């Protein structure tokens, strides 16, 4: 099973608001986050539900903590939990999920594969048991943050792969 690291709460918030959190956890990925990120950002935002869905909380060792702090000095715009997430992605050879531009740039500089929530939505048709929500990224790209109203019958499967901004 391939690891996916959810690095910031905004990805999970977008999935929750779009009623896609459970479907995302049915994809053939294992979601992991560093313990610091969980404690600071996720525990009070659906933390228990995330754990029940399969979120794994991992701890960094001392050397990895030092590397995360070095990233923080290198990129002061990033939060410490974001830097922990990047280091965890490196140590686990994981994909980093983030909607933070600065974190995505640092991940690219460090040769860590990084994607956003739209990539995750694009993965859904590849796993039929997840629900096949490839069309849903259209309203997100247009600024819609609440997808519950979205009529899936208007967009055929594969729309997200066929059209990109």
Residue boundaries of the structural domains of the chain: 2-118
Q: What is the mean pLDDT of residues 14-43?
A: 89
Q: Which fold does the domain 2-118 belong to in CATH?
A: Rossmann fold (3.40.50)
In the prediction, which pLDDT does 144 show? Answer: 53
Q: Tell me the torsion sign for CA atoms 72, 77, 83, 89.
A: negative
pLDDT tens-digit profile of 106-161? 999 999 999 988 888 888 776 655 554 444 444 554 455 554 444 444 444 444 44
In the prediction, which pLDDT does 153 show? Answer: 45
pTM: predicted TM-score of the whole model, two decimal places: 0.76
Angle at 42 between CA 79 and CA 72, to 5 degrees: 15
More confident residue, 60 or 135: 60
């Amino acid at each position: 099973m391939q690891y996916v690291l959810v690095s910031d709460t905004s990805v999970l918030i977008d999935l929750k608001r779009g009623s896609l959190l459970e479907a995302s956890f049915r994809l053939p990925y294992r979601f992991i986050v560093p313990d610091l990120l969980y404690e600071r950002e996720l525990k009070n935002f659906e933390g228990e539900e995330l754990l029940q869905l399969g979120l794994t909380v991992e701890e960094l060792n001392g050397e990895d903590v030092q590397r995360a702090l070095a990233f923080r000095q290198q990129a002061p715009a990033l939060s410490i939990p974001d830097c922990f997430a990047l280091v965890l992605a490196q140590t686990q050879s994981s994909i980093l999920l983030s909607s933070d531009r600065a974190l995505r740039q640092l991940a690219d500089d460090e040769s860590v594969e990084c994607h956003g929530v739209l990539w995750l939505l694009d993965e859904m048709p590849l796993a039929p048991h997840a629900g096949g929500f490839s069309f849903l990224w259209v309203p997100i790209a247009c600024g819609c943050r609440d997808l519950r109203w979205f009529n899936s019958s208007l967009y055929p499967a594969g729309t997200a792969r066929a059209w990109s901004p």
